[in-house]
Structure 1
Amino acid sequence: MVGMVGGGLVGIVLGLSLAAPPGPMNAVIAEESTVRGWRSGVRAGLGAMSADACFLLVALAGVATVIRDAPRLRIGMMALGGLLMVYFSIGAARSARGSFVDHEIGESKGFRKTFALALTNPYQVLWWLTVGVALLDPGTITVAVPAIGDVSIRTGNAAIVIGFFAGIGLWITLFPLALSRASRRIDGFAPLIAGTSALVLAGFGLVFLYRAIALL
């Protein structure tokens, strides 16, 4: 029982560790949350989480080794991801300009943006090819839990997978909520976040394109 609970907690921590760090997905979520509201931010988060569900199915099907052994495919994904980030940064910049005039701007495309970015994000793919595959393989890992001590957790069970997606769910719910509330209370917050998102997306996109070209 402790092992199952521990597995769920480890899964939550891993889900948060993948979802929370600054990056292109959170840039889109932030833009959607501040410019179009909490629901749009959550939808954007669900796009990234749906991509993780696809990676889970790929890992379970054993297709992960095909991607891992195809460097050209990974380079192509990196280049495509970089192009998408640069393209989406233009939309974020337009949102920054438009949000000075109207809080509700255009149709939300956050789900499609984050879904496409996640599927072409080589770092997210690499996570599933390494950590993700290891967690799905039956075995045991030992984790130091404060106030309890070392806990042996079985990998390859449903508790870790459920905890993982629960961790992502927590982030994509609470992060947009905090940003949308801040945008309603602070004048100029929405265009500031949208502009920052545009810079983050453009920066990551250019880095991805540079690395893809360097690896050719």
Structure 2
Amino acid sequence: MYYILFLKCVISGFLLAAPIGPVNLICIKSTLSKGRISGLIVGLGAATADALYGYAAAAGLNFLISFINQYETAFRWGGGMFIAYLGWKTFQSVPPSPSIDKETTKNLYKVFAGIFLLTLTNPITIFSFIATFSSLGIAILVTSLPKAALAALGVFLGSLLWWIILTSAISFFRDKVTPKTISYINKLAGALIILIGIASIKIK
């Protein structure tokens, strides 16, 4: 029973992380311009938030769902504006020179916190988990808080697996991409992220 629950949650975390969105675009941009570690930190921030929402969905924390429903507009505007801001920063960013290619620990903490908050402020995340957990029959398998914690761990590892695969694939091409190409990619990714942010504010 436990391994079935764990496996289903790993699959859920992977599937929910995979669709292309602002975090995926930021991860790709960070990996290309700053290296795999920076891209993995982006994924780690998203995976941690996914685990928190996965726990809430598995444990049936109705108060959290009600809170998100009650302040859905604020979440939508806050999250959308934050996404647009990150898109603008991405659009403006330039490829670093080889001498300053490494991220500092302080910068990595900031990246982690920013992506964690970005994922948390997206109310669609919790409802995506509820829908996925229901379709895979995960909800009926969670009968205790330890099982909810196991579900959260499965979601975290599944999500992290996607980010490892993505950053590994992007890193393979990194040495073949010129700084000029990275600059174009930053502008394209930034523009797409800004549009996603605007769309998330308007779409209910």
* Range into which the TM-score falls when normalised by the shorter chain: 0.7 to 0.9
Q: Which amino acid aligns with 1:206?
A: I
Distance 1:4 1:81, change over 3 A: same
TM superposition shift of 1:136: 5.8
Contact residue 34 and residue 194 of structure 1 kept, 8 A: no
CA distance in 1, matches of 2:88, 2:190: 7
Q: Is 1:195 the equivalent of 2:187?
A: yes
Distance 1:166 1:84, change over 3 A: same
Q: Which amino acid aligns with 1:199?
A: A
Distance 1:167 1:59, change over 3 A: closer
Matches within 5 A, 1:44-83: 44-59=42-57, 63-68=61-66, 71-83=69-81
TM superposition shift of 1:122: 1.9
Task: Please report the TM-score for the alignment, with normalisation by the length of structure 1.
Answer: 0.74
Q: Is 1:205 the equivalent of 2:197?
A: yes
Contact residue 68 and residue 129 of structure 1 kept, 8 A: no
The equivalent position to 2:174 in structure 1, one of 178, 183, 206, is 183
Matches within 5 A, 1:1-20: 3-20=1-18
Matches within 5 A, 1:123-134: 123-132=124-133
Higher strand share: 1
Partner of 2:113: 112
Structure 1 or 2, whichever has the larger Rg, is: 1
CA distance in 2, matches of 1:41, 1:169: 11
Contact residue 183 and residue 190 of structure 1 kept, 8 A: no
Contact residue 25 and residue 193 of structure 2 kept, 8 A: yes
Distance 1:70 1:102, change over 3 A: closer
TM superposition shift of 1:105: 8.0
Give a deviation string over 1:25-48, Cα, whole Å, max 9, x none: 111111211111100111111111
Partner of 1:171: 162
SS at match of 1:176: helix
Unaligned 5+ segments in structure 2 are none
Higher helix share: 2
Task: Please report the TM-score for the alignment, with normalisation by the length of structure 2.
Answer: 0.78
SS at match of 2:161: helix
Q: Which amino acid aligns with 1:190?
A: I
CA distance in 2, matches of 1:76, 1:133: 27
Runs of 4+ in 1 over 6 A off after TM superposition: none
Partner of 1:36: 34
TM superposition shift of 1:175: 0.8
> Bigger shift: 22-31 or 7-16?
7-16
Aligned length: 192
Contact residue 12 and residue 163 of structure 1 kept, 8 A: yes
SS at match of 1:54: helix
Unaligned 5+ segments in structure 1 are 140-153
